[in-house]
Structure 1
Amino acid sequence: MSDGISDIFILGGGVNGCGIARDAAGRGLSVTLVEQNDLASGTSSASTKLFHGGLRYLEYFEVRLVREALKEREVLLGMMPHISWPMRFVLPLSRQMRFDGDTPASKLLARLMPWMRGRRPGWMIRLGLFFYDHMGGRQALPATQALALEGTAEGAALEARFERGFEYSDVWVDDARLVCLNARDAAERGARILTRTQFVAAERVEGLWRITVERQGRQEQHLARALVNAAGPWVALALSQIKTDMRGQIRLVRGSHIVVPKLYDHDKCYFLQGEDGRICFLIPYEEGFTLIGTTDAEHGAVDETPVATAAEQAYLIAFANAYLRKKIATSDIVWSYAGVRPLQDDGQASASAATRDYELRLEADDAPLLSVFGGKITTYRKLAEAAVTMLAPDSRPWTRGAALPGGGFELADKPALAAQVAARYPFLEARTVRRLVRSYGLDVFEMLGDCEAVETLGAGLSTREVEWLLSHEFAQSAEDILWRRSKLGLHIGAEGVAALEAYLAARQTA
């Protein structure tokens, strides 16, 4: 039996679970969180990595969700200027592009103007972008503007038939680091974060939850006043292991992405419309690459590891090639990943149409149970705030505007911060300086301290940074470090991976 009784015990170390842990710990509540694998090892590190309102959700009339997400973009950007930054999205238009859309908006358009069947006309897109600009109280992000693509850098990557388009704003975010920084802040405020800890069962005993977990090969029990099921794709499975009348259905939808060498020489993204009614993003990624995604495919069982299938990879390649002047092939793919979105099962026929909104279900007995269904990364803070308020209504919300670790500076000061890091640590390569600033922000100075040189394992990864990740960010393995705390797996090579694994092994036996 662990010492003490937690006010809140959380199942799941994804963005929602860690967001709830941070919010609750900051309100003075005692918190324990368990995650069966590494933090952000599932859905929360496999997103398209955007804080966005969801332009296409307007076609499904999901006004509340879009408005809340739009309002959150700039709030979140201000909280984490190191791991997020504004991006401009180019939406090309073409008279030749048609689509077979089944959204409520497209069906209504087809009834009112049957000659427009199979098209999203330019005025319809501009109207959607007008709402997108004005629904969320946009302040810092630039407004939508029309683009003439011919003779521009934006048009150079596209087929010549794309002569005009629109440009609008959203925000990029490093999703896995977002999760880890929420967990770290929660821990610094007193939360207990237990990774590689398997949830086994939970039952109410004398007004408390008695929770059984397995950690380091042994079972242990914890007591808590409230239980939060934020297990993402495993939320329904977790409910089956809890003695409760609450049940819930979720829809497992796989989103796959591919990464290819850099496709164009500017820092904007592309929002592409497909003939099947779906959309696809081309996003500058890790300086030398372009991220392409995503798909919406039904996923079988929660214990089935999500992978970007050959068919999904081919689909994304074909999608991009319908726009690109210089064609790409599956042989260009350097990495792919897939994640399972745990969406509410709202009965929609297609995975694309399933709602991205979230639902918080509360069983308010003397020992409350709160389960999280659905959600998207952009609304994680609002979800966490609502969840903790349901469990502790007398406590005060506080996270709006409260910077994540390393993020206590203004976005406009980011170039100056990079210059300070470069001046203080002249032995670092310029590329490494940029990566450290966009990963750790002000914490770079605490991480590197007064060192005059660092031992590197490859791709700018130093033993000093490894030690920081092990001691401050719950990392344990090479995979944790190379693919979630960073994306250095794209750069480091086999020798670097071997050097990191050898360093970790030597550290364990020392």
Structure 2
Amino acid sequence: MNQENRYDLLVVGGGINGAGIARDAAGRGLSVLLCEQDDLASHTSSASTKLIHGGLRYLEYKEFGLVRKALQERETLLRAAPHIMWPLRFVMPHMPNLRPAWLIRMGLFLYDHLAKRELLPGSRGIDMRRHAAGAPLIDSIRRGFVYSDGWVDDARLVVLNALDAKERGATILTRTKLVSAQRNNGEWQALLRRADGSTFDVRARAVANAAGPWVGEVLHGALGREARHSVRLVKGSHIVTKRLFEHDHAYIFQNPDKRIIFAIPYEHDFTLIGTTDVEYRSDPAKVSIDGDETRYLCESINRYFKRHISPADVQWTYSGVRPLLEEEGAANASAVTRDYKLELDNTAGAPLLSVFGGKITTFRKLAEEAAGLLCGALGHEANTWTAHEALPGGDIANARFEPFAQAFAKRHAWLPVALTRRYARAYGTRAERVIGPAQALADLGTEVAPGIYEAELRYLRDAEWATRAEDVLWRRSKLGLHVEPGTIAEVGAAIDRWFATACVSEAASH
């Protein structure tokens, strides 16, 4: 086996935890290989409610430690990537029959003060008859509360972590599955399989199992190990409708079953509604919303909005399987903790770290703890570093996106306004790399699909591991939502043809 196939750390899983661990470990000087059986963020990590939040409702379950940890992370993340994360104000209408006002005020007071805030304003009570957020709601709602959390483009967050890991020396292999791994002479010998069915061997001093819903399957199957912890698979589904309100606040609605539902401004023209909590026992790769979930989400919205929606109004849906940390006493899915456990098995001097549970808001802290455990087990001394480092494209002065976006638009006045804004939001300071030397729209190449030029596809292929239309339309962006109804297959086929022909023609030219 040649030296190129030896690494300090093999990370299994290209979701947010795997990408975060790869980034942190590479930044500490470890040689890292990450393998993901599908595309980056193909599953749970692109199916979140897309919030950077402390988890207000977890206070009811006395999860004060988790909430504090998540609240501390909000502003750290907002500073690290202000192009894909930004503050969002949430409105909670008061329904006296569900939770008393004093209890909500007390919860919001704790939420405001469990961690230091600099970027986010605190909570307050509002008169729904005077606040813009009251207009779409039924007239009987006269009182409410407003508080702060953050929004995140979850799939892009995963990609940026993987990109940073790569730029710090890591190797990122998408559509590459771990088949098996065994300890041998103080290291792991692993067999990986590519999408074309070919296999190859690698060796690693340590393995990090961050396979999300598949963490147990990887442990018991590919690694042949047992574990002290396990995960409980819970399906969370979301629906997307045409925009239900004009203002820029989000809503958090209380349901009679004690669950909460969010209604969030989404992709300018839409409203994102979710999520459900349903026990799941099938293949996580085949998860999808069912009719009961769709009706539940519509009914939850209809309790509050004057304008009612039905399943016929749903433009798009997505579902993900959350690998929640299994614990005793959690009778229903909503009560299962969103915290995580890191299990380190250092048998025979070849460490194996497995990740159980977690949530997107705490991924950086999880990765920092995981990398620390692995470095300790490998005898590698290195300091923590991710708390104050921007993600690719996030090195925006004072983390202020709007001045950056305005300056970017001024430099590239030849770009259509909507495209300028999208490039700035998606890529931050890396948007200059997407555009390259172009001085006019024609310089970006053929418009392969509406608003998608060759220059961007080339960047996504070369820098962000995109290989097909689905990667571009639903993970690197949400442009699939904006495609004219009935033409998504045609648009996807055009992008797939570009990937196929561009790769062939460029290979031939070399």
| TM-score normalised by the chain length of structure 1 | 0.93
The answer to whether residue 276 in structure 2 is matched with residue 295 in structure 1 is yes
Q: 1:483 to 1:46 in 2, by over 3 A?
A: same
CA contact (8 A) 1:14 1:232 kept: yes
1:318 aligned counterpart, secondary structure: helix
The answer to whether residue 363 in structure 2 is matched with residue 383 in structure 1 is no
Matches within 5 A, 1:497-508: 497-508=492-503
Report runs of 4+ in structure 1 exceeding 6 Å deviation: none
Q: CA deviation at 1:391?
A: 1.0
Q: CA deviation at 1:412?
A: 5.8
The residue type paired with residue 425 of structure 2 is: R
| Distance (whole Å) between structure 2 residues aligned to residue 266 and residue 239 of structure 1 | 47
Query: 2:308 maps to what in 1?
Result: 327
The answer to whether residue 415 in structure 2 is matched with residue 428 in structure 1 is yes
| Distance (whole Å) between structure 2 residues aligned to residue 412 and residue 234 of structure 1 | 36
Matches within 5 A, 1:149-160: 149-160=128-139
| Distance (whole Å) between structure 2 residues aligned to residue 64 and residue 287 of structure 1 | 35
CA contact (8 A) 2:461 2:467 kept: yes
Query: 1:102 maps to what in 2?
Result: none
Q: Which of 144, 150, 171 is matched with 1:192 structurally?
A: 171
The answer to whether residue 437 in structure 2 is matched with residue 474 in structure 1 is no
| Distance (whole Å) between structure 2 residues aligned to residue 297 and residue 88 of structure 1 | 27
CA contact (8 A) 1:49 1:173 kept: yes
| Distance (whole Å) between structure 1 residues aligned to residue 226 and residue 325 of structure 2 | 19
Q: Which of 385, 388, 392 is matched with 1:405 structurally?
A: 392
Q: How many residues align?
A: 488
The answer to whether residue 332 in structure 2 is matched with residue 350 in structure 1 is yes
Q: CA deviation at 1:434?
A: 1.5
Post-superposition Cα deviations, 1:6-42, rounded to whole Å, max 9, x if no partner, equal: 1111100000000000000001100001000000001
Please identify which structure carries the higher helix content. 2
Q: CA deviation at 1:427?
A: 3.1
Query: 1:112 maps to what in 2?
Result: none
CA contact (8 A) 2:10 2:207 kept: yes
| Distance (whole Å) between structure 1 residues aligned to residue 140 and residue 465 of structure 2 | 50
CA contact (8 A) 2:5 2:201 kept: no
CA contact (8 A) 2:233 2:281 kept: yes
Q: CA deviation at 1:222?
A: 0.7
Post-superposition Cα deviations, 1:49-101, rounded to whole Å, max 9, x if no partner, equal: 00100000000001110000000000000000010000000000023xx3xxx
| Distance (whole Å) between structure 1 residues aligned to residue 455 and residue 371 of structure 2 | 36
Q: CA deviation at 1:370?
A: 0.4
| Distance (whole Å) between structure 2 residues aligned to residue 76 and residue 158 of structure 1 | 32
Matches within 5 A, 1:175-186: 175-186=154-165
Q: Which of 482, 485, 489 is matched with 2:476 structurally?
A: 485
| Distance (whole Å) between structure 2 residues aligned to residue 176 and residue 303 of structure 1 | 17
The answer to whether residue 214 in structure 2 is matched with residue 231 in structure 1 is no
Q: CA deviation at 1:411?
A: 5.8
| Distance (whole Å) between structure 2 residues aligned to residue 94 and residue 206 of structure 1 | 63
CA contact (8 A) 1:252 1:302 kept: no
CA contact (8 A) 2:83 2:401 kept: yes
| Distance (whole Å) between structure 1 residues aligned to residue 412 and residue 447 of structure 2 | 14
Q: CA deviation at 1:303?
A: 4.6
The residue type paired with residue 52 of structure 1 is: H
Q: 1:410 to 1:120 in 2, by over 3 A?
A: farther
| Distance (whole Å) between structure 1 residues aligned to residue 383 and residue 338 of structure 2 | 27
Q: Percentage identity across aligned positions?
A: 50
Query: 1:65 maps to what in 2?
Result: 66
Matches within 5 A, 1:16-27: 16-27=17-28
Q: CA deviation at 1:45?
A: 0.2
Matches within 5 A, 1:244-393: 244-246=225-227, 248-303=229-284, 305-347=286-328, 348-365=330-347, 366-393=349-376
Q: CA deviation at 1:140?
A: 1.3
Query: 1:55 maps to what in 2?
Result: 56
2:400 aligned counterpart, secondary structure: helix
| Distance (whole Å) between structure 2 residues aligned to residue 52 and residue 483 of structure 1 | 23
| TM-score normalised by the chain length of structure 2 | 0.93
Matches within 5 A, 1:34-183: 34-95=35-96, 98=97, 119-183=98-162
CA contact (8 A) 2:68 2:115 kept: yes
Post-superposition Cα deviations, 1:168-215, rounded to whole Å, max 9, x if no partner, equal: 000000000000000001001110101101111111000000111111
The residue type paired with residue 506 of structure 1 is: T
| Distance (whole Å) between structure 1 residues aligned to residue 499 and residue 188 of structure 2 | 37
| Distance (whole Å) between structure 1 residues aligned to residue 472 and residue 5 of structure 2 | 32
Query: 2:508 maps to what in 1?
Result: none
Post-superposition Cα deviations, 1:287-345, rounded to whole Å, max 9, x if no partner, equal: 00000000000011235511011110110000000000111111110000000000111
- The range that moved more, 147-156 or 204-213, is 147-156
Post-superposition Cα deviations, 1:265-296, rounded to whole Å, max 9, x if no partner, equal: 10100000001110000000000000000000
- The range that moved more, 135-144 or 35-44, is 135-144
| Distance (whole Å) between structure 1 residues aligned to residue 323 and residue 113 of structure 2 | 29
2:38 aligned counterpart, secondary structure: coil
The residue type paired with residue 342 of structure 2 is: L
Q: CA deviation at 1:4?
A: 4.1
Post-superposition Cα deviations, 1:405-463, rounded to whole Å, max 9, x if no partner, equal: 00001466322222222222233222222211111001111210220223323342211
